[in-house]
Amino acid sequence: MNEAPRPVRIAVGLWLALAVFVLFTTAGLWFQRGEIEKLSGKPPGEVTVFLISLTVPAVIFAALYGWLTRIFLRRRNWARIALSLLSIVHMLWLLIVGISPASLVTLLLICAAIVFTWQSATAQWLAEVREK
């Protein structure tokens, strides 16, 4: 990765930070389970189902971000496209689930990662492999 230009290194850092943030945010919900039960007035079983319904997609998103970022570092242009498409699906999922401070941070990370992923220096870095 040392040979990668700065925008690529920043994009990789942002994609990985996004994956970690999603996992920590989801884990934080499990630690606040009692508070969620109290605020929602739902029985523990329903809160567990709710938390699982948030956890499964979050783990899938985080795993895909990590895997695609690794492929992106191998200079595969399709990974850049896949990361962007995945992030659009993730943004739509966040809008369905509901807006919270954590989802706003997630949206900010996604937007910043997309900007650096699609900069011209990144495109040139990916094109170098095709020229060889």
Looking at residue 131, its pLDDT comes to 61
pTM: 0.91
Confidence of residue 1 (pLDDT cuts 50, 70, 90): low
In order of 6, 73, 81, the CA distances from 106 in angstroms are 22, 22, 19
Q: What is the pLDDT of residue 98?
A: 87
Instruction: Using a pLDDT cut of 90, give the percent of the chain over it.
Output: 89
* 123/110 Cα distance (integer angstroms): 18
Q: What is the mean pLDDT of the chain?
A: 94
Angle, vertex CA 45, rays to CA 39 and CA 51, nearest 5: 65
pLDDT by residue (tens digit) across 23-57?
A: 999 999 999 999 999 999 999 999 999 999 999 99
DSSP structural state of residue 98 = -
Mean pLDDT of the region 71-75: 95
The number of beta carbons lying within 10 Å of the beta carbon of residue 85 is: 11
Per-domain boundaries in the chain? 7-131
- Label residue 129 by pLDDT band (50, 70, 90): confident
Q: How many CB atoms lie within 10 A of CB 8?
A: 23
Q: What is the pLDDT of residue 30?
A: 96
The tokens for 12 are 């990789």
Closest by alpha carbon to 65, among 80, 52, 75, 54?
A: 80
Q: How far is CA 17 from CA 24, 66, 82, in A?
A: 10, 10, 17
